Chains A and B, each alone.
Chain A
Amino acid sequence: MEPNSQPKARIQLPVQVVGLVDINRLIREVEGLDDFLMQAAIRMPGSNMKLPRTSRIFDEFVAVNHFNMLQTADRRAVASFLQTIKLQTPVLHMSFASDPTAAFTVKLVMWLRTNIHPYLLLQIGLEPRIAAGCIVRTPNKQFDFSLRRHFISRRDQLISVLKG
């Protein structure tokens, strides 16, 4: 999916939505909400009902994009957008030496969506042996930005330093 072939130009994906897990959760939530509202429409008027609780990410997503989830059209648009994202949006895999914090992930996703792709999803993995840095895997390539790779690229320099 190219940057210019966005599902809907006005829909934004919040930076809190990081990976496919979040997209799937949003899809489940919007489907749940849709089911609830459909059931509510055919219920007897005046019966006691309780809206399903939605996650903070979902609320953020709805708020950022000014959706009215009581509107069937908006729900369908959101569901369609999320399905499109799930199926077409590129996923970038990044491995770190330790679990990144939420703030770190947000900053990283923000940079990726600004510079690489506006709907890019990120899958985070753990690779303790790299010590520092990260390893980035795109669909066909792997970019090693780890400290180990850094040492390997400076091997001759290290040897010359060791030999004095």
Chain B
Amino acid sequence: MTIWWLIVIISLLILVLLAFIWLALRLGNNSFSKTKNAAPYEQAAQLDVEHIFDDKFREELRNRGRLHFEKIIGENAMFLQQDLRLTTSQLNDYMKQEITRKLQEEFAKYEQSINDAKQLAMDSIQKTNNAIDEQRKTLSVQVQKEYIDEKARLIRQFEVNMAEIINHYVLSAIGNQIDLNEQLEFILSDLEANKKAIIEDIVHGA
């Protein structure tokens, strides 16, 4: 919109300049034709006119015209300058607004993209977390079950082999200190308890 204003102002200035030139030319032509048509009458008046419009007067008119023209030019230049400043200012504002708007749009898009990516990443992480939690729960249950089974197995194994284990530890602890002479009484009592079976096997077994 400011560019159009600028174009209009420049056009007006050009029109004013053309009008001024046309006016100057018209004035020059009129004076020449009048002088030609009313030659007899006017010659007399010419002299008077020449007395009136002598070179000094003309020079003064020219100066006045020049001043007027300069004044108009100056005013128009001032207007043009003001308009240009205004236009530049508006253009700056417009550019600022446009750039800001574009940047905001781009930033909004960028933010939206980031948010989308973030959401996707969050969803993915959430899914992964859910999967990991699920696996952890499954693993935990499995490990717990394995642990219970292993514990039960170890206890069962221990109970089954308890005699062997205790025997092993007794042997490790006091195996070297067990004297056979001290066991003789127990061995003889065991033999006494099984005496009948031993005799039976010796007598009838072979």
Contacts and interface: CB of A to CB of B under 8 A. Distances in A.
Nearest to B160: A155
A37 to B, nearest CB: 36
B163 A116 contact: no
A139 B159 contact: no
B195 interface: yes
A108 B184 contact: yes
Given A104-B180, A107-B184, A116-B198, A131 B170 contact: yes
Contacts of B178: 97-98, 131-132
B206 interface: yes
A160 to B, nearest CB: 11
A117 B199 contact: yes
Interface in B24-74: none
Contacts of B18: none
Interface residues of A, number: 43
A111 B202 contact: no
Nearest to A162: B162
A107 B185 CA distance: 10
B183 A132 contact: yes
Interface in A123-144: 128-134, 136, 138-141, 143
A129 B159 contact: no
Nearest to A111: B188
Interface residues of B, number: 30
Nearest to A112: B191
Interface stretch (A63-71, A75-83, A145-153): A145-153
A108 B187 contact: yes
A130 B202 CA distance: 24
A139 B205 contact: yes
A30 B171 CA distance: 44
Contact of A90 (B164, B175, B180, B202): B202
B192 interface: yes
A104 B184 contact: yes
Nearest to B173: A131
B1 interface: no
Given A138-B198, A141-B201, 10 more contacts: A90-B202, A90-B206, A97-B180, A98-B180, A129-B171, A131-B167, A139-B202, A151-B166, A158-B166, A159-B162
Interface of A: 2-3, 90, 92, 96-98, 100-101, 103-104, 107-108, 111-112, 115-117, 120, 128-134, 136, 138-141, 143, 145, 147-149, 151-152, 154-155, 158-159, 162
Interface of B: 159, 162-164, 166-167, 170-171, 175, 178, 180-181, 183-184, 186-188, 190-192, 194-195, 197-199, 201-203, 205-206
14 contacts: A104-B181, A111-B188, A115-B192, A115-B195, A117-B199, A128-B171, A131-B167, A131-B178, A133-B186, A134-B183, A138-B198, A145-B191, A151-B164, A159-B159
